């Protein structure tokens, strides 16, 4: 191997890194695990006879997808023993993981979508992502997944049906978002949630991911009344105060919250029909290394 091989390998790999990270994150829901998969793909690329690879992006995508499918086997076992609700690792710069396609899902990293993907089987998730998000043909998907084309079509169709059923049909305006964000911020910082009640959907849900590392509700909190009582209860227990900084979370309206001890968490709001339909709160410090206070 020549002295210039490492430089050439890196130079030919880097143009595909964003694509590969976007694919791996959607498969795994973790930036840490996605980076590990992409790094392993690079090591394999370095050891490959690259002159024989006609389509580097297709080759690398297959490599990353297979690594992710292997990783999901152990990840699913960990999910079974995970303490409380599991949420994906929050992404603040979601544009860095956009898919280079015209798909409706190319820029969608919302928590709702990520949780829907989590409920799919690994092969359904892979087929849906490759075809519907990254615009990969079924012949190539068949080679990647080791299934015939018709089976891959069926896998993608099942995944697509689940995603469409769960995807919100209404996208609020910036003005509507701003109003709801301001109301939520005031309620969270003051502990006075009376004004928040009118802006919560009656069937709103709050999911808090502490992962057993920080205190968090061990089950989803359903209903506007219960969410309001939770916010007010935190104030009575002197948990806080919090200071909230506006920032998109997975492309959704949201905040980075910091308490008096400097601990951070993220809050993403799913806004539907002018109401807050879901609140996704990540408190697990293992998922917050990339989030600045």
Q: What is the pLDDT of residues 136-171, one digit of tens each?
A: 999 999 999 999 999 999 999 999 999 998 876 556
Q: Closest by alpha carbon to 281, among 269, 273, 293, 291?
A: 269
Say what the pLDDT of residue 177 is.
Answer: 84
Residues 203-233: pLDDT tens digits? 999 999 999 999 999 999 999 999 998 888 7
Residue given tokens 């849900």 in the structure block: 205
Mean pLDDT for the stretch of residues 176-202: 88
Lowest mean pLDDT, pick from 90-99, 173-182, 258-267:
173-182
Give the relative orientation of helices 111-119 and 149-166 as an angle to the nearest 10 degrees.
140
Residues 34-49: pLDDT tens digits? 999 999 999 999 988 8
Strand order in the sheet with 221-222: 221-222, 200-209, 275-282, 264-272, 254-259, 242-246
For residue 282, what are the β-bridge partners?
Answer: 209, 266
This prediction's pTM: 0.92
- The DSSP bridge pattern shows strands 275-282 and 264-272 to be antiparallel
Give the relative orientation of helices 56-80 and 138-145 as an angle to the nearest 10 degrees.
50
- The DSSP bridge pattern shows strands 275-282 and 200-209 to be parallel
pLDDT beyond 60 at 3: no
* Separation of alpha carbons 114 and 257, rounded Å: 22
Q: Closest by alpha carbon to 94, among 25, 39, 169?
A: 25
CA separation (Å) from 35 to 19, 29, 66, 155, 234? 12, 11, 14, 26, 36
* Separation of alpha carbons 18 and 63, rounded Å: 15
| pLDDT, averaged across the chain | 91
Q: What is the DSSP-derived secondary structure letter of residue 249?
A: B
Residues 230-265: pLDDT tens digits? 888 776 665 556 799 999 999 999 999 998 888 999
Residues 108-128: pLDDT tens digits? 999 999 999 999 999 999 999
Tell me the domains of the chain and their CATH numbers.
5-166 (1.20.140.160), 174-287 (3.10.450.50)
């Amino acid at each position: 191997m020549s002295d210039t091989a490492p430089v050439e390998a890196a130079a030919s790999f880097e143009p595909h890194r964003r694509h590969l990270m976007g694919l791996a994150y959607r498969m795994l829901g973790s930036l840490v695990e996605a980076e590990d998969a992409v790094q392993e793909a690079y090591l394999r690329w370095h050891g490959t006879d690259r002159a024989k690879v006609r389509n580097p992006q297709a080759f690398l995508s297959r490599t990353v997808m297979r690594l992710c499918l292997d990783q999901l086997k152990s990840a699913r076992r960990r999910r079974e023993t995970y303490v409380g609700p599991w949420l994906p690792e929050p992404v603040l710069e979601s544009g860095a993981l956009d898919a280079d396609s015209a798909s409706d899902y190319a820029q969608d990293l919302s928590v709702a979508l990520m949780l829907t993907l989590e409920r799919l089987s690994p092969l359904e998730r892979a087929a849906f992502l490759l075809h519907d998000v990254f615009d990969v043909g079924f012949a190539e998907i068949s080679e990647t997944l080791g299934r015939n084309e018709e089976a891959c079509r069926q896998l993608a169709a099942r995944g697509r049906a689940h995603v469409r059923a769960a995807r919100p049909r209404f996208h609020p305006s910036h003005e509507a978002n701003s109003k709801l964000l301001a109301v939520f911020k005031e309620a969270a910082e003051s502990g006075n949630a009376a004004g928040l009640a009118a802006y919560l959907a009656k069937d709103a849900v709050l999911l808090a991911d502490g992962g057993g590392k920080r205190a968090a509700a061990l089950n989803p909190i359903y209903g506007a009344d219960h969410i309001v009582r939770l916010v007010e209860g935190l104030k009575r227990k002197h948990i806080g105060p919090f200071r909230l900084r506006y920032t998109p979370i997975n492309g959704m309206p949201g905040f980075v919250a910091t308490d008096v001890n400097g601990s951070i968490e993220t809050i993403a709001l799913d806004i539907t029909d002018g109401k807050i339909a879901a609140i996704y709160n990540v408190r697990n410090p293992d998922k917050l290394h990339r989030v600045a206070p």
